[in-house]
A and B are shown apart, each in its own frame.
Chain A
């Protein structure tokens, strides 16, 4: 009796140990259940941030290819990047098609072997996109790692009703004429503030972005990727213009709750809108403010804030199919569709000439002809050179320093010192 119980006990103990180990081993193994019939994957995963307008396109592709597609959206780039880093560092978890933003593209290009060379997997599209945009999708070793999605051509989004209350013109051409340059913009802001007592723009970091990206030159890095943040004329221009506007700013940092709430509450009357921002402005302002927003030109001519590429990580189990999907999502028709849905501006030359694109008017923004406005400004974009840690310097050095000044935590000199110190730390590579 006692013998059997003891045997059973021993067996049970062994079994427990084996299950524990076996269970762990099971966690570690790859599940290949992802493969469908004939080597075709059952499912492809797409990772995007912000609003890239792929919701409908993905459904279309599911129908035409028979592959199920999971669209994983992350709201902000700041949340998106660490996840991507984790996937790459651990070698698992990355989506088959991964969006890369221009601010972070360069640091990922520094290790191009993490990405599939798309050139052999798809047709040759090299002549079909904005030439500089296409070139930026290539790694230093010549591999094509990203297909161009959108560019962030700049404009100003403004609230017509608030402008009217302040005695400013409301019609978009007249509004654009108010600010041929940044001084004009500042003057309009002061007029608004004098009339209403309220802030005109959301934050001075938004201004600095606007100025920075219309310089068309080296920003934080020179062409050899040495950090030149403290001596760069482009940075200086952005700094000076931005700090001069703190008197008309609502001090609402982009993406903060004060910022997203501010759209609804009307705590500011204007903000800078790269094309992809239109969807975000509309979402934040809500249905109640439909038709109150409009789109005008940015002071000082064009400029490019943001824009992305689609890449396929080396760890994807279905590289060929993923490349095909990326090809589909970035083709002319898809880019026009995405633009209509959420506003990212096409980079495909055919899409930019497409009648449906050019004649598109955005209902939410008082039927503004956004296709025409942004389409024309694309030509004016001068490509800027972004170094490997551009995003880190911008987000973790320049913007905090500007906010320190804007919130009165530091005077202008102290804030600049803070920027120079942090730029050196954040920009080191």
Chain B
């Protein structure tokens, strides 16, 4: 992920009229001018076609079938989608996904915004060190994070319960209830992604002209007021980007809840924290003979993400006007 992608203004736009003078009509030259740009961008589209588009279309095709992963399949039209709408466990997974998403995204973005503002401060020394340090959790593998946090949130020997026991709280069975399991999972997500979002927002903040702050200072605005009235409005485009990225990540949440459930795809004894992605895996891969149904869940997730991103976009754009 290149940070400059979001912030750097398009540079080196060729000024008009600087095109090289036409040479004596060599065929090769004309071909070159016309087609080589397509060749330059071809690798991306080829790779996207093979690893992005094809699996999507294939999944759509599978979702119209009664498909056995290691056996036969037969065409059944939209039956899988009809069944999906009536499926309690699908709605349960959707509810859980949104719950964990809300618990992780909102505090995470607020925290990231404040941290980015701190790192952007002119008073801070050793900036590079802190900027690097804050990104470190993101480099740690998800599996390792989930395993470590899983241990912290254990019922019997977990560190968190041990600490809570000093303030008189009884052992909490973290994976036994909705609120506690959601909190535990959201904690892992937050720990891992706060730094990442901080850096993106920081990049956005660096693009804000310094004279705005200077002018505000002269007018007597304190740091708090500058933050809310200059920084936040100015990083709004970056914020949209970060919100959409978080939405996509949140809707696809899989590894953390799976490892938190000791690898059980159900996500708790009563599916208290089974996410959509886990449900897709359960139907699509665990249950062999319902792979078509799993594909339908996958497409449902895709549609939900598309819808959520659109909604975010509209909301943030509207408030910007």
Which residues of A approach B to under 8 Å, CB–CB?
A: 2-3, 6-7, 9-10, 13-14, 16-17, 20-21, 24, 76, 78-79, 81-82, 85-86, 88-89, 107-108, 110-111, 114, 252-253, 255-258, 261-262, 265, 267, 389, 392, 395-396, 400-401, 403-404, 407-410, 418, 425-426, 428-429
- Report chain B residues within 8 Å CB of A85: 69-70, 285, 288
Mark B247-269 against chain A: 1 for CB-CB distance below 8 A, else 0. 00000000000000011111011
Main secondary structure of the interface of A (DSSP, over half): helix
| Chain A: CB-nearest residue to B147 | A257
- Beta-carbon contact of B47 and A20 below 8 Å: yes
Query: Given that A111-B71, A258-B154 are contacting pairs, would A400 and B36 also be in contact in the complex, using a CB cutoff of 8 Å?
Result: no
A261-B156, A410-B270 known; 10 new pairs, CB 8 Å cut-off, are: A2-B23, A6-B32, A10-B36, A20-B46, A82-B285, A88-B70, A114-B70, A396-B286, A400-B264, A400-B269
Q: List 19 A-B contacts (CB under 8 A).
A: A9-B32, A10-B31, A13-B39, A16-B43, A17-B39, A17-B43, A20-B47, A85-B70, A88-B69, A107-B288, A395-B264, A396-B264, A400-B268, A400-B270, A403-B269, A404-B270, A409-B176, A409-B269, A429-B289
Docked pose: A14 CA to B38 CA in angstroms:
10
- Report chain A residues within 8 Å CB of B68: 111
| Chain B: CB-nearest residue to A2 | B20
- Report chain B residues within 8 Å CB of A256: 262
| Chain A: CB-nearest residue to B39 | A13
Nearest chain B CB to A267's CB is how many angstroms away? 6
Docked pose: A241 CA to B176 CA in angstroms:
23
- A-B pair number, CB within 8 angstroms: 114
Docked pose: A268 CA to B31 CA in angstroms:
78
- Beta-carbon contact of A407 and B40 below 8 Å: no
Docked pose: A372 CA to B3 CA in angstroms:
67
For window 41-65 of B, CB contacts with A under 8 Å fall at 42-43, 46-47, 50
Docked pose: A79 CA to B26 CA in angstroms:
62
- Report chain B residues within 8 Å CB of A396: 264-266, 282, 286
- Beta-carbon contact of B39 and A16 below 8 Å: yes
Docked pose: A9 CA to B23 CA in angstroms:
16
- The 3 A-B residue pairs with the shortest CB-CB distance, nearest first, are A13-B39, A20-B43, A404-B269
Please tell me which one of the listed residues A20, A78, A82 contacts residue B264 in the complex, with CB atoms under 8 A apart. A78
Kindly state whether residue B150 has any CB partner on chain A within 8 Å. yes
Could you say which of B23, B68, B70 has the most chain A C-beta atoms within 10 Å of its C-beta?
B70
Kindly state whether residue B79 has any CB partner on chain A within 8 Å. no
Query: Given that A3-B26, A10-B32, A16-B43 are contacting pairs, would A426 and B287 also be in contact in the complex, using a CB cutoff of 8 Å?
Result: yes
Docked pose: A428 CA to B68 CA in angstroms:
12
For window 63-82 of B, CB contacts with A under 8 Å fall at 68-71
Nearest chain A CB to B175's CB is how many angstroms away? 9
Mark B189-220 against chain A: 1 for CB-CB distance below 8 A, else 0. 00000000000000000000000000000000
- Beta-carbon contact of A3 and B29 below 8 Å: yes
- Beta-carbon contact of B39 and A82 below 8 Å: no
Docked pose: A418 CA to B270 CA in angstroms:
8
Nearest chain A CB to B120's CB is how many angstroms away? 39
Docked pose: A3 CA to B29 CA in angstroms:
8
Docked pose: A403 CA to B268 CA in angstroms:
9
